[in-house]
Amino acid sequence: MSRIIPLSELREQIDAIDAQLLQLINQRALCAIEVAKTKIASGEDGVFYRPDREAMVLRRIKDLNQGPLSDHTTVRFFRELMSACLALEKPMDVAFLGPEGTFTQQAAFKHFGHGVNTLPVTTIAEIFSAVELYHCQFGVVPVENSTEGVINHTLDRFLTSSLQICGEVEIRVHQNLLSKSPGFDGITEIYSHQQSLAQCRQWLDKKLPNVRLHAVSSNAEAARLASLNASSAAIAGVIAAEVYGLNIIEKNIEDEPNNTTRFIIIGQQASAPTGSDKTSFVVSMGNQAGSLYRTLAPFAKLGIDMLNIESRPSRRGLWDYIFFIDIDGHCESPEIAEALALIKEEAKLFKLLGSYPKAIL
């Protein structure tokens, strides 16, 4: 029979390990400071964050993890450690769709960690502008939801922006009914983003069929409005309830249990290959039979997986469309570079949006 270790002895071991961890963490932080000095000495005084480098480090940590901590917990811990160390090199500003407490802010923290400064703005277009004008180094914008599809404002803004996609992050979206009221009684109106209202359509029809619904710019704005009147409620995340002092009347009211939103990171810099990447681009072609097939034929010829395709009206003519496409791999790989070159020859319009690391957990 194995010996039961006394609690006092276990606590002594934990205290000793904590001391070692603290020493090692601070050694890593000192290395980060030296990295900054080396970069500045070599003339690199811009953004020190490298999405490809961070993705490779986190994947290596995930591969090394043998438990009992889960991969998710381990990656989250190291992301926060890297975020804190990066802040010692140079604090980074990230624009998100505000106000405080939105899923977009949650996505920013999941991707960058809490060592960044988050800047709330009111529209997706303003996120692009904040990065284009160098008010922020990066921005986080929603691009698609597993239930309700693409966010058209994001796709449309890429047509006129010089920014690149340099990362992606996925958030499991839990919607909650929030209010100053302690329960359903007395609620006459509900505020939320139009996507969230759509994600909870069946629940609303069943539980609150006669309540007025108002679409607003964000779920956090919905929570703010709901905080002004006890007869109002909001559909939003738990963070919004904390920020605006609301009761959670009912949790997880989304119709689909696996409701997930994908966000992309936009910035000025390109990302180097990591071995697990996506490439996104925009293409349009003539409105003739078979034109889409001919344009995308190089993917089949060269064995490249197309992960997603979305169409949007080009606004240049009746029934003229632009296609937003994601493929597996990095644009610097020989086969993808060849395929994209062939597509450019066939297409009427082609714009590379970026190659970037795939989301990690």
Catalytic positions are 261, 263
Tokens representing 100 are 């405080």
Neighbours of 63 (CB within 10 A): 9
The residue assigned the tokens 């992960």 is 307
Cα–Cα distance for residue pair 119/135, rounded to 1 Å:
9
Residues 6+ apart with CB under 8 A from 340: 279, 281, 331, 350, 352
Cα–Cα distance for residue pair 281/340, rounded to 1 Å:
9
Alpha helices in the chain (DSSP H): 7-41, 51-64, 71-89, 103-112, 124-132, 152-158, 194-199, 201-207, 219-226, 238-244, 291-302, 334-346
Tokens representing 135 are 């008010």
Query: 167: which strand partners?
Result: 265
Buried residues in 276-289 as b, exposed as e (16+ CB within 10 A): ebbbbbbbbbeeee
CB distance 188 to 211 below 8 Å: yes
Query: 97: which strand partners?
Result: 121
Residue 260: closest CA among 152, 154, 149: 149
Taking the alpha carbons of 344, 346, 347, 353 in that order, is the dihedral positive or negative? Answer: negative
Residue 238: closest CA among 191, 187, 174: 174
3-state SS, residue 218: coil
Q: What is the DSSP letter of 4?
A: P
